[in-house]
Amino acid sequence: MEKRVVFRSSWLPWALIAPQVVVITLFFFWPAAQALVQSLQQSDAFGTSVEWVGFENFVNLWNDATYLASFYTTAVFSVSVAVVGLTLSLLLAVFADRVVKGALAYRTLLIWPYAVAPAVAGVLWLFMFAPSVGVVSYTLRKLGFEWNHLLNGNHAMTLVVMAAVWKQISYNFLFFLAGLQSIPKSLIEAAAIDGARPWRRFWTIVFPMLSPTTFFLLVINIVYAFFDTFAIIDSATQGGPGKDTVILVYKVYYDGFKAMDLGGSAAQSVILMVIVVALTVIQFRFVEKKVNY
């Protein structure tokens, strides 16, 4: 929809839009272009010599076992975060939607993890599971389960997944709750009159009606797991043990700033950009469909 009546001025709109355009040009388009250029270059660790290498950086990545492993790690990580996070928050939202009294209190108590910084979330969970002092790892040991995420890659992955899910649960919860509340009451009542009991009503009426929300959250959660969880991983495991929790973003950072492989890091950035753009396109295709529906 466009406005019918608009203001006329030859200079004002330019002046209004200028600050944003300057900022995004300087800190967005220029760096993105640089990433593209660098991904086709090779420079030594001191940045004294630069040469064009074409797609060599990409070829190297393709042949780099640790990069492919990082893809695998990212896939495991993001699918786990999305599936576990969505399931738990849907469960909570469905029950919160049933509550008449105290709904606001529950909501308040469930939304605050949204405010917690991912890095802090990582530290909190690290503290609970620290092999020497952690309360949970102690309890597990008492129960006969030896927890050590410093040595066991699966434990480390579980730890970062839990921290990431915990941090994201409030976001998912709010969207599911909003989705549930927008389902017309009359539909549920009609199903009840048709004799459907709560469990059946959920699977035949509520869940299908929620599918747009669920799909939207799925994409958002995958993007979240791809990018926003850097801080959780860096504070909880630093990618360890070994490289068992090195996700793609972590590797971009590590290769670019620790290993000083600018070309390789830039090539990884470009691949990440392609992934995000693909995810965004999927999401927009879907949103369009939803509008028609």
Partner 1 sequence: MVERRPLLTAFTHLVLILGVIVVAFPLYLTFVASTQTSQAIVQTPMPLLPGDQLVENYTAALTGTGGGAGAKTPVGRMMVVSLISALIISLGKIAISLLSAFAIVYFRFPYRMFFFWMIFITLMLPVEVRIGPTYKVVADLGMLDTYAGLTIPLIASATATFLFRQFFLTVPEELLEAARMDGAGPIRFFKDVLLPLSATSIAALFVIQFIYGWNQYLWPLLVTTNENMYPVVIGIKRMISGGDSEMQWNIVMATAMLAMVPPALVVILMQKWFVKGLVDTEK
Of 35, 86, 90, 210, the residue at the interface with partner 1 (CB under 8 A) is: 35
Query: In the complex with partner 1, which residue's Cβ is closer, 68 or 150?
Result: 150
Query: Which residues lie below 8 Å from residue 9, measured CB to CB, with a gap of 6+?
Result: none
Residue 144 CB, nearest approach to partner 1 (Å): 16
Chain residues 146-185 in contact with partner 1, contact rule CB under 8 A = 150, 166, 169-171, 174-175, 178
Residue 126 CB, nearest approach to partner 1 (Å): 7
Our finding on whether 132 is near partner 1 (CB under 8 A) is yes
- 148-166 in b/e form (b: 16+ CB < 10 A) is bbeeebebbbebbbbbbbb
Of 53, 83, 84, 128, the residue at the interface with partner 1 (CB under 8 A) is: 128
Of 69, 120, 183, 218, the residue at the interface with partner 1 (CB under 8 A) is: 120
Q: Hey, is 46 helix, strand or coil?
A: coil
Tokens read off for 75 = 């896939």
State which amino acid sits at residue 282.
Answer: I
Tallying the residues shown for the chain, one arrives at: 293
Of 6, 65, 143, 291, the residue at the interface with partner 1 (CB under 8 A) is: 6
Our finding on whether 65 is near partner 1 (CB under 8 A) is no
Query: In the complex with partner 1, which residue's Cβ is closer, 59 or 274?
Result: 274
Of 234, 239, 246, 251, the residue at the interface with partner 1 (CB under 8 A) is: 234
State which amino acid sits at residue 242.
Answer: G
Tokens read off for 132 = 């020497």
Residue count at the site for partner 1 (CB under 8 A)? 102
Q: Name the one range near partner 1 by CB under 8 A: 49-57, 72-80, 153-161, 215-223.
A: 215-223
Of 112, 144, 184, 258, the residue at the interface with partner 1 (CB under 8 A) is: 112
Of 277, 282, 285, 289, the residue at the interface with partner 1 (CB under 8 A) is: 277
- Cβ atoms of residues 212 and 175 within 8 Å: no
Our finding on whether 187 is near partner 1 (CB under 8 A) is no
Binding mask 250-269 for partner 1 (x = CB under 8 A): --xx--xx----x--xx--x
Q: Which long-range contacts (CB under 8 A, 24 or more apart) does 274-282 make?
A: 275/226, 276/223, 276/226, 276/227, 279/219, 279/222, 279/223, 282/219
Query: In the complex with partner 1, which residue's Cβ is closer, 83 or 271?
Result: 271
Query: Would you give the distance in Å from CA 98 to the centre of its chain?
Result: 28
State which amino acid sits at residue 110.
Answer: L
Query: Would you give the distance in Å from CA 217 to the centre of its chain?
Result: 10
Q: Name the one range near partner 1 by CB under 8 A: 14-22, 54-62, 70-78, 152-160.
A: 14-22
- Provide the CB-side half-sphere exposure for 127 (13 A, CA): 6
